[in-house]
Amino acid sequence: MITISSQDIKELNKKAVDILVDNISGLLEKQEHVIFGVVGGSSMSGIFNLLKHEKRIPWEKIHVFMADERFVLITNEESNFRLANETFVQNLPKENAHPFTDIAEYETELKKYGDSYDILLLSAGEDGHIASLFPNHTSINDDSDHFVMVKNSPKPPPERMSISRKMVLNSKTALILFLGEGKKHAYQRFLEQGDVYSCPARLVKSVENSYVFTNLR
């Protein structure tokens, strides 16, 4: 696990994009395409806006899937896909953008390209959750291989889908952001020894190639 720290969020965003470019390039030397899993949220906007103008990535070889989504229309302001779609996803061929449908269909769609996400871009919540895997909750305890249905999310809206605990662990590369004072407690919990059930963000520690970006000390 590599930790990248800076008080300058713009610098962190740029470094995250550089790492994404490097990892995508490395993967494409060995495979035909890359499955890129993303979440929504304000922490993602800086990276997404940089990706919008990123010419080093062959977007025709990138398939974007959601790691977390709310059960709303993709035009709804609460849709995680909406932010990605309004920024960098427009660089992709239409068939390479994969908004959430339902869990069974999404799993079928994923399996057209692979059985797991190659790269995950995540942001930790104030309670240490990632995607919609929440601490001490049915979501993090679910043993599904791919996706989890969340009907009682501690954060609104209550109905969501999420990649499963196993899917996080099966990803080849994971980037996680801890940005802002509101994430300080979560970052401290992440750094401590402990299980993933009390702090789902700790799953990233077990991903073979993982990066942590933070402006916290």
φ, ψ (nearest 5 deg) of residue 212 = -115, 130
Q: What architecture is the 2-214 domain classified under in CATH?
A: 3-Layer(aba) Sandwich (3.40)
**Is the predicted pLDDT of residue 73 greater than 90, yes or no?**
no
Residues 64-85 have a mean pLDDT of: 86
- pLDDT for 78 equals 78
106-117 pLDDT, tens digit per residue, is 999 999 999 999
Give the Cα-Cα-Cα angle 22, 26, 29 (nearest 5 degrees). 145
> Is 73 or 88 the better-scoring residue by pLDDT?
88
Instruction: With a cut of 80, say whether residue 128 has pLDDT above it.
Output: yes
Token pair belonging to 139: 């979501």
Cα dihedral sign for 107, 112, 115, 116?
negative
Q: C-alpha angle with apex 206: 211 to 167, nearest 5 degrees?
A: 95
Q: How far is Cα 180 from Cα 166, in angstroms, rounded to an integer?
A: 28
Q: Where are the domains of the chain?
A: 2-214
Q: Rounded mean pLDDT of 128-156?
A: 93
CA distance linking residue 132 with residue 80, whole number of Å:
12
DSSP element (H, E) containing 20: helix 9-28
Which pLDDT does position 90 carry in this prediction? Answer: 86
How far, in Å, CA of 44 to CA of 21, rounded? 16
The pLDDT score that the predictor gives to residue 120 is 98
pTM of the model as a whole:
0.94
Q: Rounded mean pLDDT of 8-14?
A: 95
Mean pLDDT, residues 10-27: 97
Task: Note the pLDDT tens digit of each residue in 23-36.
Answer: 999 999 999 999 99
How would you classify the pairing of strands 68-70 and 160-163?
A: antiparallel
Nearest Cα to Cα of residue 101 among 143, 69, 131, 133: 69
How is residue 198 annotated by DSSP? T
At how many degrees (to 10) do helices 9-28 and 45-52 cross?
A: 60
The closest of 25, 186, 153 to 80, measured between CA atoms, is 153
Radius of gyration of the chain from Cα atoms? Answer: 16
Confidence grade of residue 217 (pLDDT, cut at 50, 70, 90) = confident
φ and ψ at residue 55, rounded to 5 degrees: -95, -10
Read off the pLDDT of each residue in 176-186 and give the average, rounded to a whole number.
93
Determine the pLDDT at residue 62: 97
